């Protein structure tokens, strides 16, 4: 039996501990990257106001001119590659804007923007498990939590520092072949919620870990202390870092749990059917924004989709207006009303349904229909307020 492979780009992220000199050099680089990005954005915005367009080559020429000025001569002190990469990232941002895939690019803030710098192959050396960046005399002290696959070397390296002060390096590699998993007939419908994070068409339910709630008291205490510190003081910076560490701990736990769930689902099922949720609109509910964000439905879908693409699986997204909760999965009858307090209901055909399991079964059936006919499922809206029956679940206050 032949094994199908696919070539993908994979990023391997590791934590590292820089020396004082390396930390100072990287911090300087982060600042210069941000400065060049903002200067180029300002120049392109002014040109846009004059109904002119500035491309990457023109902004690169501007960078050369900026380096020759006395005011911006410090840009010569860092590697030129991350600065050029910042201009390329800005070009991508404008391409997405003109393609109506994103909003107009925004300026990077010194306090709020992500601190990162990208190095291409000409600006680093990777040999025998050691990584040395341009303008540095020593290799980075990387914690190799997992080895790179044999024969694989990075094409680009991204160094970053998160709000908690932790340093990370991400190695982007061209993986020549990820073996597809053996084909199976298994298919599953997945219903997302808050009472249970996920409910499957098999009847299994995944409890909602509520990662944020576990640290809510500690987080509130740290935030109160931060609010009392003087603006721009050293103590405020320390308090801000403590808040960031709690947020980082919550995000790490959430990401780890989602990785385990999505990997298991992709390994066991050939077809995975989910609901096409608009989380951006759902978090406008102020009472449930925290709970919806903690559930991380968008992150779950993203992981599911890229892992399915890697291993030869199929993810089908059913239209969010599909009345999965109110539709009987046995006879197809549509209930007139389904109050949120009803967690189990009996159809006129006599079938007793668990609300969430029934929704997952209906999603699976709708997904199979999409796969068979190649058309989306978009029935009439199921509620006067414009919400789908399934996402009426999020109208309840979090317990």
Catalytic positions: 191, 275, 356
User: What is the DSSP code string of 204-230?
Assistant: -EEE---HHHHTHHHHHHHHHHHHHSP
**Distance from C-alpha of 388 to C-alpha of 380, rounded to nearest angstrom:** 10
The beta strand positions in 23-66, using DSSP E, are none
> CB–CB of 192/297 below 8 Å?
yes
Q: How far is CA 319 from CA 202, 276, 288, 371, 385, in A?
A: 21, 5, 22, 13, 17
> CB–CB of 285/395 below 8 Å?
yes
Can you name the residues that pair with 132 across neighbouring β-strands?
125
DSSP 8-state symbol, 182 = P
What are the structure tokens assigned to 273, written together?
């059917």
**In 269-374, which residue ranges form alpha helices assigned H by DSSP?**
279-282, 289-295, 297-310, 355-373
**Distance from C-alpha of 183 to C-alpha of 81, rounded to nearest angstrom:** 44
What are the structure tokens assigned to 355, written together?
């609300």
Which among 266, 275, 362 is positioned nearest to 314, based on CA atoms?
266
């Amino acid at each position: 039996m032949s094994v199908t492979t696919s070539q993908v780009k994979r990023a391997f992220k590791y934590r590292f501990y820089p020396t004082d000199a390396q930390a100072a050099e990287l911090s300087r680089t982060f600042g210069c990257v941000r400065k060049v990005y903002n200067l180029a954005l300002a120049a392109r915005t002014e040109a846009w106001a004059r109904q002119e367009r500035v491309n990457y080559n023109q902004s690169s020429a501007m960078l050369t001119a900026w380096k020759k000025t006395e005011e911006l001569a410090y840009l010569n002190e860092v590697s030129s590659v991350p600065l050029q990469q910042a201009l390329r990232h800005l070009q991508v941002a404008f391409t997405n804007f003109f393609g109506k895939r994103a909003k107009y690019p925004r300026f990077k803030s010194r306090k709020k923007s992500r601190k990162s710098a990208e190095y291409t192959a000409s600006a680093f050396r990777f040999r025998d498990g050691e990584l040395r960046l341009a303008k540095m005399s020593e290799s980075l002290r990387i914690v190799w939590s997992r080895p790179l696959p044999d024969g694989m070397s990075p094409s680009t390296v991204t160094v970053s520092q998160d709000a908690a002060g932790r340093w990370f390096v991400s190695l982007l590699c061209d993986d020549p072949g990820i073996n597809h998993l053996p084909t199976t007939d298994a298919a599953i419908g997945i219903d997302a919620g808050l009472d249970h994070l996920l409910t499957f068409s098999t009847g299994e339910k995944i409890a909602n870990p509520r990662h944020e709630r576990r640290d809510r008291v500690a987080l509130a205490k740290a935030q109160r202390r931060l609010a009392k510190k003087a603006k721009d003081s050293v103590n405020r910076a320390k308090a801000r870092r403590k808040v960031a560490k709690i947020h980082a701990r919550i995000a790490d736990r959430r990401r780890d749990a989602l990785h385990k769930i999505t990997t298991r689902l992709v390994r066991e099922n050939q077809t995975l059917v989910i609901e096409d949720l608009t989380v951006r609109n759902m978090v406008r509910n102020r009472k449930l924004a925290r709970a919806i964000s903690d559930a991380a439905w968008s992150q779950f879908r993203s992981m599911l989709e890229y892992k399915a693409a890697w291993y030869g699986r199929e993810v089908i997204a059913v239209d969010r207006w599909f009345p999965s909760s109110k539709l009987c999965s046995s006879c197809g009858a549509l209930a007139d009303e389904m109050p949120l307090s009803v967690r189990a209901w009996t159809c006129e055909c006599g079938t007793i349904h668990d609300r969430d399991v029934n929704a997952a079964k209906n999603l699976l059936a709708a997904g199979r229909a999409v796969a068979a006919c190649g058309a989306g499922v978009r029935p009439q809206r199921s509620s006067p307020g414009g919400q789908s029956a399934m996402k009426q679940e999020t109208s309840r206050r979090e317990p």
